[in-house]
Structure 1
C-alpha cells in the first residue's frame, strides 16, 4: 500500500503500548494499537519484518475544525489524529500562519468533544500512555486533565476551551528540547535552566507573533509556572495575581510528570500521585483545584491496573460515582495467566472489589476497542 512506510528506529519503545495499529506491506493488520513490546528481541524482530504504519506525509493535513464530522468519538482510534492535529497546530504557530489561532481553538474543541462524549476512555489514554510519552503526548494529556478539572469546578464551556488552548500551547517554547530533557540523566545546564524559566513568556510571545489575540489564553500561558507564595517564574507573582486557569495547567503538568517515567527517576504509581496531591496545595484555591482533580480521577481512574478481591488483575474501564459502581475488565486470572479476551467485573460486588492498584514492571498488551466495547458499536 502506497500510504504505508517502514517504522523508523526510535518510533517504538519497550513497555509502552503501540499508539497506532501496525500493518504489513499489503496493509494487513499485524499488531493492534495497545500491543506492548516486551523485549529488545521483539523490538528487533519488529523492525526486521518490515512492519509499516500510515505515512504522515501521504495523509491530508487535518483541518482545525470539522463540524460536519458527527461520528461518535473513540479516543483510542482518534489518538493518532489528535497528535497529528496538535503537531500541525504548533507548526502553524511556528510558521506564524494566519490560521494559527483557529487551529489551536479547533483542536481544543476536538479534545473537549472527546472528553464529553467518551470521558473514561480519554482518562484511560493518559494512564495507558504515561509510561514514556513524547512531548506531543504530554501536551495532549495536559489538555485532557485540564478539561476534567474545569468540569469539576463548573467552569463555563467557552472558558474551558480557552483553558484547553492554553494547555496545548503553554510549552511551545520548550517543545524542541522536551524529549531530550526527559531522556537525559545529566544535570541541567545554565542555558537549559534559562530556557525553562523563560518559556512561559517565550511561548506567549510566539503565540502573539502568530496572531493569537485571546488575552485570557495568553495570560494563562504566561502565568502557568507562577506559584502562590511568589516562588514561581518568570515574574514571581503571588496568589492574588495568578489566574485559576494557570494553576490548573500547572497541576495538569505536575500530575502528568508524576505518573511518567523519566530517565532520572521512576514514575509514581497512581496511588502515590494521589497521596502527594492530597497533601499539597499552598492556598485554599490550590487545594480546591487539587480536590477537583482527585474527584475527577477517582481512586481508581480508567486505564489503571488493579488487583481484585478474587485475585484477578483487571484494567479499570469506567469510574464509579454516586449512581453506579466502578467497572473493570479482568485480563489476568487468579493464578497469574492471561485470559483469552477479557471479562467485565462490577467492582461494587464483594468478589470484585478493588484491593490495590498494580504497578507492573511491564504493561500487558490490551485490545482497547474490545475492553471499552468500541468494537460492538
Structure 2
C-alpha cells in the first residue's frame, strides 16, 4: 500500500482535478511533475491561490487502484507507514462501502481486510496513527472522518479493556455505521443553514439504513449490527432510535459514539469553529457525568494525553513543534521542532523531550494555516 520511494511510472500519473486540493490543508499524497519528479511531498500545506492554480496546471498524482481485492491487504507484511498508507486506506474504505451498497459478494472480505490492516497499523504505529486524526482534522471528508472513528475506537477499546475479538467487530462497525450518511455527509458539513426536517430524518434513520445495507450484502454479525443500532443511544436515555439507557447500551456502541463526538469537536464545520484539544478534553471529561459509562471518556483522555500526537505546540524556548510521541514513564511527550524561535523554518528535524525544562510546552499553537511538514520524515519513516 505504501507510496513507492522511487519515481512512479509516467503512465500511472494523472492530472489533479480542480477541487481535489484545498488551501490551508496538508496534501494527502505526493505531487509530481509531468516527468515524475516530486514537486511537493505529502504534508505540504498550500498557502495561496496562485500556488493552488500552479498545482492544478503542473501537478500530477498517482491514483489508487480500487479494483484490487481488499483481502490481499492482509498479506501485505511491509512496515506500516500510516502517512504513506493514508490515501490507500481512504480509497479502500470508499471501495468497501461501495461494495456493501451494491451488495457485492466480496463486500465482507473487503471489510475484514480493511479492518485487519487498520488494526495492524494502530498496533505497530500507535502515535503516528493518532497523529493522522489531528493533522487532517481541519476539514475532513466523510471517508476521513470514518477512518478517524475506526482509529480512535482501536485505542479507546484497548484502554477500556475489551478483548481483541470484540475490538475487531467494533472496528468493522466504526467503518460501516455511517454508510447511509456517506452520500450526504459532506454536503451537510458544508452547510451553515438549519437542517430541514428531511435532513434530520436522514440522520436519525442512518443506523437502521446502514444495517439494512449490510444485511443485503450478507454481513450479519449480531454484535456488529447491535453496535451500529445503538451508537446514537445515550446512557441517560436521551439518544435515538430506541431511547435506551444505562447498561442497555453496549460499551462498544458508546466507544464508537465517543469517537464520533471527539472528531466532531476538533473538526471545522461551516456553521462553527473547531475546538482545540484542550477544550475538547474538558468537554470529554464532562461526558462521564451521565452521557457515557464513566470509564469510556476516561479511556479516551488516557489515550490522548494532554497533548496528542499531531498537535502543534510552542515550547519554552519559543520554538514551534509538532507532538510525535506520547510520554514514556517520566519522559516526554516528545516533539519535533519545525519552526525556530524567530519563526524561521528548520530544514531538518530536531527531537525535543518536553519534560526537559528548556523544551517544556508553553501553550498549544493554533495558526490560521498549518505549517507544511514532511510527515514521513518527522515520524522517521521511509517515504
Instruction: Using structure 2 for the length normalisation, give the TM-score.
Output: 0.95
Could you say which residue in structure 1 is the equivalent of 2:272?
265
Q: Which residue, out of 297, 304, 312, partners 1:297? A: 304
- Aligned partner of residue 229 in structure 1, secondary structure: coil
Instruction: State which drifts further: 315-324 or 131-140.
Output: 315-324
Q: Deviations over 1:214-254 (max 9, x none)?
A: 10000101110011122111111112211100010010000
Quote how far apart the aligned CAs of 1:283 are.
3.5
Q: Deviations over 1:259-299 (max 9, x none)?
A: 11111111100111111111222439522100100100100
The alpha-carbon distance between structure 1 residues 241 and 129, as it changes in their structure 2 partners (threshold 3 A), is: same
Distance 1:66 1:206 in 2: 24
Q: Deviations over 1:123-143 (max 9, x none)?
A: 000000001111100000000
Is contact 2:82–2:121 with CA below 8 Å preserved after alignment? yes
Q: Which residue, out of 38, 41, 45, partners 1:36? A: 45
Q: Which runs of 5+ in 2 are unaligned?
A: 1-9
1:134 aligns with 2:141: yes
Could you say what the CA RMSD is over the residues aligned between the two structures, in angstroms? 1.4
Quote how far apart the aligned CAs of 1:2 are.
1.5
Distance 1:14 1:62 in 2: 34
The alpha-carbon distance between structure 1 residues 331 and 70, as it changes in their structure 2 partners (threshold 3 A), is: same
Could you say which residue in structure 2 is the equivalent of 1:174?
181
1:2 aligns with 2:1: no
Quote how far apart the aligned CAs of 1:181 are.
0.6
Instruction: State which drifts further: 73-82 or 323-332.
Output: 323-332
Q: Deviations over 1:294-343 (max 9, x none)?
A: 10010011101001111110000010032542110001111122112221
Could you say which residue in structure 2 is the equivalent of 1:331?
338
Could you say which residue in structure 2 is the equivalent of 1:93?
100
Question: How many correspondences in the alignment?
Answer: 374
Could you say which residue in structure 1 is the equivalent of 2:313?
306
Distance 1:65 1:221 in 2: 26
Q: Which residue, out of 231, 243, 260, partners 1:236? A: 243
Is contact 2:45–2:372 with CA below 8 Å preserved after alignment? yes
Q: Which residue, out of 365, 372, 378, partners 1:371? A: 378
- Aligned partner of residue 325 in structure 1, secondary structure: coil
Q: Which residue, out of 185, 199, 212, partners 2:192? A: 185
1:226 aligns with 2:222: no
Q: Which runs of 5+ in 1 are unaligned?
A: none
Distance 2:131 2:38 in 1: 23
Is contact 2:139–2:269 with CA below 8 Å preserved after alignment? yes
Is contact 2:70–2:114 with CA below 8 Å preserved after alignment? no
Distance 1:371 1:355 in 2: 21
Is contact 1:20–1:80 with CA below 8 Å preserved after alignment? yes
Equivalence map 1:86-125=2 (5 Å): 86-125=93-132
Is contact 1:228–1:282 with CA below 8 Å preserved after alignment? no
Is contact 2:154–2:171 with CA below 8 Å preserved after alignment? yes
- Aligned partner of residue 317 in structure 1, secondary structure: strand
Quote how far apart the aligned CAs of 1:68 are.
2.9
Instruction: Using structure 1 for the length normalisation, give the TM-score.
Output: 0.96
Equivalence map 1:357-368=2 (5 Å): 357-368=364-375
Is contact 1:317–1:328 with CA below 8 Å preserved after alignment? yes
Could you say which residue in structure 1 is the equivalent of 2:71?
64
Q: Deviations over 1:187-217 (max 9, x none)?
A: 1111100000111111111111111011000
Could you say which residue in structure 1 is the equivalent of 2:89?
82
